[in-house]
Amino acid sequence: MKAFELLADPKNWIKGAIAKDTFGVTHRVFHPDSTRFCISGAILRVYHSEPGDSVPIPTLDESVKIILDRVTQELVKRNWFTPESVETTGYPHITFWNDLPSTAHAQIIDVLTVLDL
């Protein structure tokens, strides 16, 4: 399965949390009841090899870090990052972009499909 397949149904894409169950309860990405994900959650669910309670950036698989960077580069290329989606550190982050009111499900699917994720 790829991340765009996991999020293909708009009901499976969420904002404001990394993962939720079908009732809208927030869970960890790898919780067995998690069925709905933000873009980062979908990428982690599909491509991270070691599920756990939390997945801090330093412990991500190198391949997941590369995937997240590819998504970031694609969003920058498309000028889809706005000032609101840039962290105080000065660089864009896909989780903030996912949660913007202006971000649409079609954009999520388009980016993931173009990158074959």
* Cα gap 42→84, rounded to integer Å: 22
Which pLDDT tens digits describe the chain residue by residue (117 residues)?
999 999 999 999 999 999 999 999 999 999 999 999 999 999 999 987 665 555 554 456 777 888 888 998 898 889 887 665 665 555 567 888 899 898 999 999 999 999 999
- Residue 111, Cβ neighbours under 10 Å: how many? 21
pLDDT at site 50: 60
pLDDT at site 108: 97
In terms of residue numbers, what domain contains 33? 3-114
Structure tokens of 56?
């801090």
Domains: count for the chain: 1
The pTM is what?
0.84
- Residue 14, Cβ neighbours under 10 Å: how many? 22
pLDDT at site 58: 47
